[in-house]
Structure 1
Amino acid sequence: MELNLTGRDRHGTPDELATLSAVLIDGEEIFVDQGAIHGKSRVERGIDFRGASSADQVPDGQPVSIVWVTLKTYEQGRGFSGITAAQIVINKELKVGYKPMAPLVNQMDRAMKGKVDLSNLSGEQKGKLAHFLENLRADLWANTPDEVKAQLV
């Protein structure tokens, strides 16, 4: 799978959104899901987020991390720039969940501004994310500044 981050799409996406992708970490699984940008990722579909006002109100809820990833053109070429994470909590069996909109939107905005904030990911999750991004697009990884890569370990 290739990140669809190579420029404007046929709908004329504003430049600041043309480089945004969502990578989800759901337990052991990690994958790109552009639907998350509009709150319609595969893990969100069919889940009722209206009833819970906190993660504690989701019985046996499992965290799913949404990692916003942006690109930037550096001297050596396009590479990863902004990488931020936020979490939602879901009980797939009961089809209920908690989605804190402010952190999701704020982290998306920070990623689009080239910030890196993975403070709510575990060390293991950061390592998985680094491995995933490197293997997904080795060209982008090679052009990513070392200071960005260092925050993924």
Structure 2
Amino acid sequence: MELNLTGRPGGHGTPDDFANLSAVLIDGDDIFLDNGAIHGKSVIERGIDFRTARSAEEVPEGRTVHVVWVTLKRYEGGSGYNGIAAAQLIIDAAKGVGYKAMGPLVNQMDRAVKGTVELSSLPDADKQRLAAFLAQFRTDLWENTPDEVKAKLA
């Protein structure tokens, strides 16, 4: 399966964007697809200066936003979710500053691309919300996802 990071003309926003790599953001009670995160340009990241903070502690009033990288695989019954890996951003929108550790973000993206499910940084409640979101977003993909992948979201 080829990884297409450049996207299609016209931008992202349709279910077909899950063709290889997608980003699901969990920001408090909100959970949504934003493939701009693949390029560090999600709606949450725009206007935030990530250059000044060298650690999460330098953004003491920041909120945690989870970036969940999701990939697909073609199984016997059709395409389903395969790699799912989470990383974090710390964002203080009021001050326009944030922190993101590029190493973990890229490593988690790589894990998802390689078909690994790694969600240790994601609270259990958010794992369940993620599972519900993925199931609702594309029921066909969810139905074709192996039980061992689904179990890691429980």
SS in 1 for 2:49: coil
Residue number in structure 2 paired with 1:152 = 153
| TM value normalised by structure 2 | 0.90
The residue number in structure 2 matching 1:142 is 143
Cα distance 1:142–1:42, how it changes in 2: closer, same or farther (>3 A)? same
User: Equivalents in 2 of 1:59, 1:49: separation in Å?
Assistant: 14
Deviation at residue 52 of structure 1 after TM alignment: 0.5
Structure 2 gaps, min length 5: 1-13
Structure-2 separation of matches of 1:147 and 1:123: 17
Cα distance per residue 1:6-46 (max 9 Å; x no partner): 4xxxxxxxxxxxx1000000011000000000000000000
Question: Which digits, 9 at most, give the CA deviation of each residue in 1:89-109, with x for residues without a partner?
Answer: 000100100010000000000
1:51 aligns with 2:52: yes
Percent of aligned positions with the same letter in both sequences? 61
| Misfit runs of 4+, over 2 Å | none
Code of the aligned partner of 2:43: R
Cα distance change, pair 88–75 in 1 and its aligned pair in 2 (3 A): same
Query: Secondary structure of the equivalent of 2:151?
Result: helix
Q: Write the letter of the residue equivalent to 2:45.
A: E
1:2, CA displacement in angstroms?
1.9
Trace 1:88-103 onto structure 2 (pairs within 5 A): 88-103=89-104
Displacement after TM superposition at 1:4 (Å): 1.0
Alignment check: 8 A CA contact 1:3 1:32 kept: no
What residue number does 1:14 align with? Answer: none
Q: Count the aligned residue pairs.
A: 141
Structure 2 vs 1, CA of residues 132 and 109 (structure 1 numbering), >3 Å: closer, same or farther? same
Aligned residue in 2 for 1:61 = 62
Alpha-carbon shift at residue 5 of structure 1 (Å): 2.5
Deviation at 1:47, TM superposition (A): 0.1
Following superposition, the deviation at residue 3 of structure 1 comes to 4.7
Please state whether the residue corresponding to 1:98 is helix, strand or coil.
strand
CA distance in 1, matches of 2:135, 2:124: 17
Counterpart Cα distance in 1 of 2:16 and 2:119: 20
Cα offset, 1:59, TM superposition: 2.8
- Alignment RMSD: 0.8
Q: What are the ranges of 5 or more consecutive residues in structure 1 without an aligned counterpart?
A: 7-18
**Contact 1:80/1:140, CA 8 A, preserved across alignment:** yes
Q: Which amino acid aligns with 1:82?
A: G
SS at match of 2:18: coil
Amino acid at match of 2:137: L
